[in-house]
Amino acid sequence: MPSSIVRGLSESQVTPEAWFDPRRRHLLALAAGLSLGWTNRHAFAAPLPDAALKAGGEKLTGLGDITSYNNYYEFSTDKKAVKILAQELTLKPWTLTVDGEVEKPYTIDADELTKLFGSEERIYRLRCVEGWAMVVPWSGFALSKLIERARPTSRAKFVAFESLKRSSEMIGQRSSNLPWPYREALRIDEAMHPLAFAVTGLYGQPLPKQNGAPLRLALPWKYGFKSAKAIVHVQLTSTQPVTSWNQASPSEYGFYGNVNPEVAHPRWSQSRENRIGELQKRPTLPYNGYAEWVADLYRGLDPKLSF
Ligand SMILES: Nc1nc2c(c(=O)[nH]1)N[C@H]1C(S)=C(S)[C@@H](COP(=O)(O)O)O[C@H]1N2
Ligand SMILES: [Mo]
């Protein structure tokens, strides 16, 4: 048996994946004599329905709200000030490096992202840990494409995301609200999930600076803090990376950050949320309404741990 197939089997044993059928994948791959890299694994994934990719047709939050009510501590903890302060950021040149536990590390300019990985629209719910929520039409590409290009090795178990550190332009970095640079991370199977999205645009236009240009994440089943903005470095690792919010306040911000109405934040309940632009609060849904597609990633894990 070729070693790549052995490697593929052992990967599937250590990482829970539910969006594909492992038996079918192995049979097809064996029949075709293919290696079982991450690319082939996903070739057999069923396409996600509109309920997942278009937020079930829910009403979009207006562009004005999405671009003037922002969390971006590199600029300010005042949500309404971010829009002004973020205009100081220089976006060109902007290089992104993908490295670590990979066969083919690479560095590209942010201008090349759309050429290399394409662009599609995803309408996703965004739920901030603070209790507000929006419905946002992002554009970009599946995060898996960015990762697959570097060919992760079998030792890659996590993906770390590092945002820009440039205190000359990011005035909020002159205070130590958070350890800079902003760091976030995912397990590799979360990062390879077809819902995990790399964002380069909003409402069909280039991504505004205050929303994380030129590149941010959108992980709709997780609290907003997991979706790092202004990404410069993606690193595949064998051990769980340190993340900024978890480092700053481990009792309030877990590694997973999955939306869970039953696990209260130490200072407030998470059972309801305020959809921006609406008067009535809504109930918060497990995994922010994406349970059907992501819950299997966390099977066997204590739900308190997966916050
Ligand atoms: N680099 C960086 N990324 C970040 C943040 C931040 O402060 N810095 N805030 C996070 C939080 S708490 C949320 S809710 C979302 C907000 O995204 P939005 O301003 O586009 O709505 O960005 C996330 N990504
Ligand atoms: Mo947030």
* DSSP collapsed to 3 states, 129-144: CCCEEEEEEEEEEEHH
Residue nearest to atom 21 of ligand 1 (CA): 70
In the chain, which stretches have pLDDT less than 50?
1-44
Q: What is the predicted pLDDT for the residue at 45?
A: 59
Pick from 128, 192, 126: nearest CA to 159: 192
Note whether residue 306 is domain-resident. Answer: no
- Is 0.85 surpassed by the pTM of this model? yes
Q: Alpha-carbon distance 281 to 274, whole Å?
A: 5
- CATH number, domain of 142, equals 3.90.420.10
Q: How are the residues of the chain apportioned to helix, strand and coil, as percentages rounded to the nearest 5?
A: 30, 25, 45
Q: Which two tokens stand for residue 197?
A: 């999205």
- Domain of 10 in residue numbering reads as 3-298
Note whether residue 126 is domain-resident. Answer: yes
When divided into structural domains, the chain yields a total of 1
The pocket around ligand 1, CB under 6 angstroms, is made up of 70-74, 126, 128, 163, 182, 211, 224-225, 227-230
Note whether residue 112 is domain-resident. Answer: yes
Which of 180, 217, 225 most suits a substitution to test ligand 1, by most atoms within 8 Å of the C-beta? 225
Note whether residue 138 is domain-resident. Answer: yes
How far apart are the CA of 246 and the centre of ligand 1, in A? 15
Q: Alpha-carbon distance 98 to 159, whole Å?
A: 10
Q: What is the predicted pLDDT for the residue at 302?
A: 81
The burial of 13, by beta-carbon neighbours within 10 Å (0-12 exposed, 13-18 middle, 19 or more buried), is given as: exposed
Which of 60, 61, 70, 71 most suits a substitution to test ligand 1, by most atoms within 8 Å of the C-beta? 71
Note whether residue 305 is domain-resident. Answer: no
Q: What is the predicted pLDDT for the residue at 248?
A: 95
Which of 203, 229, 245, 259 most suits a substitution to test ligand 1, by most atoms within 8 Å of the C-beta? 229
Note whether residue 303 is domain-resident. Answer: no
How far apart are the CA of 34 and the centre of ligand 1, in A? 40
Note whether residue 307 is domain-resident. Answer: no
List CB-based neighbours of ion ligand 2 within 5 Å.
71, 128-129, 224-225
Note whether residue 158 is domain-resident. Answer: yes
How far apart are the CA of 75 and the centre of ligand 1, in A? 11
Index of the ligand 1 atom closest to the CA of residue 164: 1
Q: What is the predicted pLDDT for the residue at 33?
A: 33
What SS3 state is found at 92?
coil
Residue nearest to atom 6 of ligand 1 (CA): 72
How far apart are the CA of 237 and the centre of ligand 1, in A? 23
Index of the ligand 1 atom closest to the CA of residue 79: 19
The burial of 24, by beta-carbon neighbours within 10 Å (0-12 exposed, 13-18 middle, 19 or more buried), is given as: exposed
CA distances (Å), origin 95, targets 186, 231, 245: 21, 9, 24
Ligand nearest to the CA of 80: 1
Index of the ligand 1 atom closest to the CA of residue 245: 12
Q: What is the predicted pLDDT for the residue at 11?
A: 35
